[in-house]
Amino acid sequence: MSTPGQMVRALADLFDMSESSVDVLDRGLAAAGLRAKSPRGRAATQVTSRDVAHDVIALCMDASIRDTPAFVECFSKLELKGGQSWTYQGVPDDPDIRNLQEHPRLTPKGILEGGLFQEYPREDLPMAATFGGSLASLLEHLPDLTDMRRVEVRMLKELPGARISFKLGEQRVEVDFGKGGERGPDLGLCTIKSLNMPFLLSIAAILRTDKRTRSKIPQA
The enclosing H or E element of 28 equals helix 19-31
**Cα–Cα distance measured from residue 47 to residue 5, given in angstroms and rounded to the nearest whole number:** 9
**Cα–Cα distance measured from residue 71 to residue 50, given in angstroms and rounded to the nearest whole number:** 15
Tell me what pLDDT residue 86 has.
96
Tell me what pLDDT residue 219 has.
42
Tell me what pLDDT residue 23 has.
96
Tell me what pLDDT residue 211 has.
45
Please give the model's pTM, rounded to 2 decimal places.
0.90
Residue spans of the domains in the chain: they are 4-75, 78-202
Sign of CA dihedral 219, 154, 161, 130: negative
Which residues lie across from 207 on neighbouring strands? none
Tell me what pLDDT residue 99 has.
85
**Cα–Cα distance measured from residue 105 to residue 51, given in angstroms and rounded to the nearest whole number:** 31
The enclosing H or E element of 51 equals helix 49-61
Given a cut of 50, the residues of the chain with pLDDT beneath it are 210-214, 219-220
SS3 content of the chain, % helix, strand, coil (to 5): 40, 25, 35
